[in-house]
Amino acid sequence: MSAQPSNNAAPDLINIEVDGKPTQIRKGAMIIEAADAIGVAIPRFCYHRKLPIAANCRMCLVDVEMGGKLMPKPQPACATPVAEGMKVMTRSDKALKFQKDVMEFLLINHPLDCPICDQGGECELQDVALGYGRSVSRFTERKRTVADENIGPLVATEMTRCIQCTRCVRFTSEIAGTHELGGMNRGENLQIGTYIGKTVETELSGNIIDVCPVGALTNKPFQFKARAWELIAKPSIGYHDALGSNLWLHTRRGEVLRTVPRDNETINECWLSDRDRYSHQGLYAADRIGTPEVKRNGQWQVTTWEDALQFAGEALKKAPGSELGILVHPASSNEEGDLLMRLARGLGSAHVDHRLRQLDFADNAAAASFALPVADVDQVKAALLVGSDLRHEMPLLNHRLHQAVKKGAKVYTVNPASFDFNYGLAGESIAAPQALVDALLALARAAVAAGTSAPAALADAINGVHSDQGDSDAIAALKSGSAVVILGEAAVTHPQASWLRAIARFIADATGASYNELPVGANAVGLARLGVLPGNGGLDAQAMLAQPRKSYVLYGVEPPHDFADGSAALEALRGAEQVVAFSAYASAALREVADVILPIGLLPEIDATLVNVDGLAQGVSAGAKAPGQTRPGWKVLRALGGAIQLAGFEFDDLAGLRDGISERAAAPRSGLATRAAVSDLTRLATWPIYRGDAVLRRATALNAHPLNRAPAVRLNATEARRLGLADIAQVHLGDVVLPLVIDVAVPDGSAWIEAAQDLTATLPPYGAAITLSKA
């Protein structure tokens, strides 16, 4: 006996019947949503639950009865709202005839490419054609063909297969916010493309592969590598930002061949950033190291694990603990971070840090989980971004904010450059790095003018600036309802980050907004919770370089690219007596400074736990095979700790390790950095979206993408003329020669030079005074 709906339905629920099954569905829902909710399958191509309704494929036509009368024509289930008492027949003779007729029309021009199409075996058109298509086509005319368009290194096109569902068009306009694809011409001449033959540059472009129901858009790096049924899907998470996007690793014989999103509505919904989708190419770079190596008499030698661990243990014992610095990559797992702290305690060192890009430690700040959960960001009414290129720092958080803007939210920014947002800004304040604090103080002044008392530590600074109407508007918007203040990477890594943090917190408190600070590193929140930070009297990451130690442990760190001050890092490491490196790669710079390299697995290859921005600990199991004799980092650390007979390394397996992990978060301080004198020209250093870590820097398709810009010095035209460089193609910065690019996004007094490039990694750090000259 089937369950009957209540006659006393809630005001926002409607009673309908689908194929004889009664159900309740929210008012305003479409028939197809009601059918999906009760497991009734209606064929569709253009409909996607996350995209606006188009109703242009007509595959979902169904019979609808209202008030005892059958509608004269079938209705598209995706575009027909439910109504009280409605009866829907998805399998009636008339509905099936229309669905089969539409299927026949769609197949008229579709090529018989299934044996060579990458979509074969997981194609929606194949699946629906099997149930609704004819065995033999009645069409005898010539099929139409469409010229392909090169839309970049990430997505391959075969547009003859396109059925004009427009999912990709709606994705780029409504989700990516870039309007890069569209339909041209009419009728059977309709074509989907960019019109002007340009690369699709959105940082979410790979998602058009997932929404495409046919093989018109496919994964270019994966092209012709394997058939869908040859792949094994392993659940994993993204490790290039702290969102922790859920994903599937598709592997064959232990090798990751592609990555696709795994649904999680509270984190990444059903989307995946290109950074997480294509980074797996970096796992198989030419300089990936698969065997332990030691440096003897200046020469690198491949050796056994036993010899390498003995060598590393003896090296670490040569200097006292006070002369040992341990530098940890912020994407290292909880398990690795905890063992590194045990290693530090066992060797008597308080000098441990994972905040490699941070310059200001006056407030001893470390990453913390968001006050406003990621899933709620698309509901805010206003947002203030401080020092944040959110599209590149955390693409899918930016997507949430984009959805909020579409609902009417106002976004204001205080940034060191005019970053490229995919939504309109209600207000934008652009200031050179040396003026960024004052620009944010102006907003704080507006908050004080609105009736909030300034904290004593900030009062004089706030009273020393002026605010304008734009500042007042921003404060009013933040006060008007649900709002969030987001501190981004360009603020967290700023040389006066403690000021920006204190002012942003004050603005959030004054307006009732939530305060969210973007972590720098995929597991920065987890490592901060575990206290992978300097102990009592310990030196932070920059102090360890400014006051060089005799011995260093580098864990997952690639000098000089991973440091805020790459030049200082190389200088300190070159002068050290012993450097023990745990690394997946053996770069030339690492080989220069290290004495032993212990090969460790990367996240797709190991069991690990990472904590995301919401404070959610996500555990994953190894999904891919590590090369050669590579071992998980926790196993190498356990073996090293055992070899030098340290306490805390007696566990037998990963479960034993996890049982012993406890949180030891360090307490923040209330200090503020000394305000530096204003310079004529300072460097703005941001980390490019596809150069943020060692794996990304080796992902070939991502590095061929236009968003991965060539290293250059970027000045605005006014600044270039002031410096006498207006007509110059190249400039000198110290010993480095770089192209000069005129860029309206850069404010006066600043030169934008992206970090983590081979040519820029050793230049003066973010906020440093620089001098440019003609090359």
With beta carbons less than 8 A apart as the criterion, state whether 480 and 381 touch: yes
* CATH code for residues 293-357+524-659: 3.40.50.740
With beta carbons less than 8 A apart as the criterion, state whether 751 and 684 touch: yes
**Alpha carbon of residue 462 to chain centroid:** 34
Residue 208 has what pLDDT? 98
Cβ-defined contacts of 447-452 (< 8 Å, 24+): 447/475, 447/506, 447/507, 447/510, 447/511, 448/510, 450/475, 450/476, 450/479, 450/510, 452/510
With beta carbons less than 8 A apart as the criterion, state whether 348 and 320 touch: yes
Profile the chain (775 residues) by mean pLDDT over runs of 10 residues: 46 91 95 96 97 96 94 96 96 95 94 94 95 89 91 96 96 96 89 87 98 98 96 98 98 98 98 98 98 97 98 96 98 98 97 98 94 98 98 98 98 98 98 97 97 94 95 96 97 98 98 98 97 96 98 98 98 98 98 98 98 98 97 98 94 94 79 82 98 98 97 98 94 96 98 97 97 94
End-to-end CA distance of the chain: 85
For 374-517, the fitting CATH number among 3.40.50.300, 2.60.40.2470, 3.40.228.10, 3.40.50.200 is 3.40.228.10
Query: What is the secondary structure of 263-304 as a DSSP string?
Result: -BTTTTBT---HHHHHGGGGGG-TTB--S-EEEETTEEEE--
Structure token pair of residue 250: 């598709």
Residue 646 CB partners (closer than 8 Å, separation 6+): 342, 343, 346, 347
On the CB side of 393, CA atoms within 13 Å amount to: 26
Per-domain boundaries in the chain: 13-102, 107-284, 293-357+524-659, 374-517, 682-774
Residue 579 CB partners (closer than 8 Å, separation 6+): 551, 552, 553, 554, 573, 593, 594, 595
Residue 187 has what pLDDT? 84
620 beta partners: 608
Distance CA 710, CA 697 (A): 13
* CATH code for residues 107-284: 3.30.70.20
Cα three-residue angle 613-614-619, rounded to 5 degrees: 85
Distance CA 682, CA 2 (A): 72
Distance CA 766, CA 393 (A): 17
Residue 588 has what pLDDT? 97
* CATH code for residues 682-774: 2.40.40.20
* CATH code for residues 13-102: 3.10.20.740
Distance CA 615, CA 372 (A): 11
